[in-house]
Structure 1
Amino acid sequence: MALRIAEVSQRSGVSASTLRYYDQIGLVPTGREPNGYRAYPEAVLDRLRFIDAARRLDLPLVEIGELLQSWESDACSSVKAQLRPRLDEHVARVEETIGALTELRDALWAARAHLDELPDREQRCDPSCAFLLTKSAPPVACSLGDGQAEQIAAWRDLLSAAPVERTASGVRCVLPIEKLATAAELAAAEQACCPFFGFEITLHGDVFTLTIRSPDDALPLLGELTGLTLVPA
């Protein structure tokens, strides 16, 4: 039994205007009844659920259309093989965006802090007191001195528990939760001597993700910690 657009919209949660647009671009093609109304097969609801899931992952509509053809006709293994690299590429783009937004956030907070430090004056502002002239970034050099080799060894020991993955802005690895205290302690110590590194720890049950962000000119130092040869992405 064919479904009218109003029923498809009600059952799927997709607006009628979006359904018409999907029809126009060939993503959800429809038939026509003699009176000219759009007619949808029952299977369209499964197709719309797939599209909704893919859009929640922010995949482009063009890619969704390509994946749909495979999803509806090929073996599951083929769909997985096509989807996996697309997701990996999207993760890399998101990581890059997160890194850029993190840098922007830090710059905004630095500008705000510098603004608060400036004295209130009755005179006009001049270039030397402009709040946008934030404090210069810390030099890319480790200030630890003789203890650097010991700290590098501690990092290598920690990261030997899991493979380290390169990201757009640094590196990332997933470690067992029992390594959490060690990771937090090393991250705090590293920020004291290398404040240009950024650390993020995200908990996932019995494991956690450690992400280390680094400016391009500090990648050799990050490479020493991880044992990897790192070059700008």
Structure 2
Amino acid sequence: MKKVIKRVLLTLAALLVLAFSGFYIWSEQTYKPTDELYTLVPKQDMEQNGDFLVFQPKEAKNIGIVLYPGAKVEPAAYSYYAKGLAAAGYTVIIPRVAFHFALLDVNKAKEAIAAYPSVKTWYTAGHSLGGVAAASYAYGHQKEIAGVIFLGSYPAASNDFSKTDVPMLSLYAEYDGLSTISKIDDTKHLLSKKAELYEIQGGNHAQFGIYGKQKGDHDAKIPAKQQQDEMIAATANWLAAQ
């Protein structure tokens, strides 16, 4: 009997190892920045501090944004957006998250905040599942986080902000095939009383970063840079009004 139990346990352990190995290999097949991204933001303009890709302004407003990447998307893919916000005076930190899934590393914002004590006001932001993580952290730290920025994203049902006054900006795209307009509409009730929604006409899901096409997405009708410039302007205007 003991031999049977031992064999069962060894078999289960082997299956777990195989499952984890498969997940790890799959998670490492990431969406990487395109050549276009590196023409817009040369690698020498990217400051790496441990797990953080950091964009700091020349004239700081002492306001920071922790930007969670979408699932399996490399942090550098958001560099142009981050650089644009830094030019407007905001510190932007893009964390590298465990297995490239922000939901597995929600507390990265806590680490970023601790690493940059000179920044006095913090927002969380995120693309796709990164936005779910950003909302999750903000929901549990409402005294610490000044607001949330969604990029083709929305909160999980467990993070209902509807009775709060947390400032929120939801940027969504007309041709987003993943965080579709219908999904944005269906989750509006989870947003706070101070939520603002902004549609990027002609945009899609993948162009919330600059990493090429993404499975399940629709083709955009505008160039990636145009979508990014509109994102930067809308975000900077919203932040300035807070």
Q: Smaller-chain TM-score range? A: under 0.3
Higher helix share: 1
Flag the structure with larger Rg: 1
Higher relative contact order (CA 8 A, sep 6+): 2
Report the TM-score when normalising by structure 1.
0.21
